[in-house]
């Protein structure tokens, strides 16, 4: 008798898709539309580049499984009553963060679906990132491989610039001759534009110290330059 593999826990990217679908279906009364959205969720989950060893199993992220997961998300919704278990810590975290940012959540979820089929390194350091693993990993991939970014970096190095474009910290004062190696490129293109694969321009690139760059990859809002500058200026 073949061993039945236990389904893996949802990744942060999957929870983002799940909660986004929950907000779409929770007030829908038309059963046909609701079923279509849940089936779309199942298909999207199965298309993500996680758990390839489960892809052949019909039980993996199945329609019924996604329907049950949506019921669990309802348990963390203060305006709903769910009788089907409790939502996970990740589900609660994503729900609470995006409950007042539904448009942002939908943009993040759609982008995850678009880039999920692309070939780029998925970085485990983003395992618990509120944007999931795929999105910040993809930004980092572009920041290191895009031709426009590479050319901009050459110009910055040739000009001997060592100050963070955001906080103004001069890395040369700390790291001397290695300062320009540590200045990192950050793409400020909004998430919705990244999903449309819009071309990166010089105005979309900031060169930051490692600390500011790490900050820029913590939330979907801080990807964008204006939000990032407002936060750093406020501190």
Tens of pLDDT, residues 97-122: 999 999 999 999 999 999 999 999 99
Residue 169 sits in a domain whose CATH number is 1.10.30
- Both 110 and 22 in one domain: the answer is yes
Quick one: which of 216, 219, 156 has its CA closest to 188? 216
**Final residue in a domain of this structure, among 75, 94, 118:** 118
* 49 and 102 belong to one structural domain: yes
4: pLDDT strictly greater than 60: no
Examine the pLDDT at 86 and tell me if it is beyond 70. yes
With a cut of 60, say whether residue 14 has pLDDT above it: yes
Q: Is residue 129 part of a domain?
A: no
Say what the pTM is. 0.92
Q: What is the mean pLDDT of the chain?
A: 90
Question: Does residue 141 share a domain with residue 114?
Answer: no
Q: Does 76 score more than 70 pLDDT?
A: yes
Residue 80: per-residue pLDDT: 74
Total domains in the chain come to 2
Percent of the chain with pLDDT over 90: 71
**Alpha carbons 46 and 55: distance in angstroms, whole number:** 7
pLDDT at position 233 is 78
Segment 150-185, tens digit of pLDDT: 999 899 888 888 888 999 888 888 776 777 778 899
The answer, yes or no, to whether residue 197 has pLDDT greater than 90, is no
pLDDT at residue 82 in the model: 62
Domain-terminating residue out of 118, 144, 176: 118
| pLDDT range class, residue 2, cuts 50, 70, 90 | very low
- pLDDT confidence band for 52 (50 / 70 / 90): very high
Look at residues 118, 153, 176 and tell me which one is the last residue of a structural domain: 118
Flag whether 48 is in a domain: yes
Q: What pLDDT, on the 0 to 100 scale, is given for residue 83?
A: 58
User: Does 87 map to a domain?
Assistant: yes
Q: Which domain holds residue 19?
A: 12-118
Q: Report the pLDDT averaged over residues 67-94.
A: 85
> How confident is the model over 183-210, as a mean pLDDT?
90
pLDDT of res. 226: 94
3-state secondary structure 189-221: CCHHHHHCCCCCCHHHEEEECHHHHHHHCCCCH
Model confidence at 215: pLDDT above 90: yes
pLDDT value of residue 232: 84
Out of 45-49, 155-159, 195-199, pick the least confident: 195-199
Is 74 contained in some domain? yes
Q: What is the DSSP string of 101-148?
A: -HHHHHHHHHHHHHHTTS--PPPGGGTT-TTTTHHHHHHHHHHHH-HH
Q: Report which of 60, 30, 22 is spatially closest to residue 42, judged by C-alpha positions.
A: 60
């Amino acid at each position: 008798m073949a061993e039945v593999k236990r389904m893996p826990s949802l990744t942060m990217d999957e929870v983002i898709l799940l909660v986004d679908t929950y907000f779409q279906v929770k007030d829908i009364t038309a059963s046909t539309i609701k079923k279509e959205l849940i089936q779309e969720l199942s298909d999207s989950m199965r298309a993500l580049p996680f758990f390839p060893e489960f892809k052949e199993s019909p039980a993996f992220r199945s329609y019924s499984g996604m329907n049950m997961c949506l019921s669990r998300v309802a348990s963390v919704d203060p305006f709903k009553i769910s009788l089907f278990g409790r939502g996970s810590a990740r589900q609660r975290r994503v729900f609470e963060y995006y409950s007042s940012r539904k448009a942002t959540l939908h943009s993040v979820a759609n982008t995850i679906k678009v880039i999920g089929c692309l070939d780029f390194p998925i970085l485990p350091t983003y395992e618990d990132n509120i944007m999931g693993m795929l999105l910040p990993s993809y930004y980092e991939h572009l920041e290191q491989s895009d031709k426009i970014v590479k050319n901009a970096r050459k110009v910055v190095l040739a000009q001997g610039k060592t100050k963070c474009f955001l906080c103004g910290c001069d890395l040369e004062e700390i790291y001397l001759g290695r300062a320009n190696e540590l200045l990192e490129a950050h793409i400020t293109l909004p998430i919705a534009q990244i999903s449309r694969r819009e071309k990166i321009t010089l105005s979309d690139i900031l060169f930051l110290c490692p600390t500011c760059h790490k900050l820029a990859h913590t939330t979907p809002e801080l990807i964008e330059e204006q939000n990032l500058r407002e936060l750093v200026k406020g501190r």
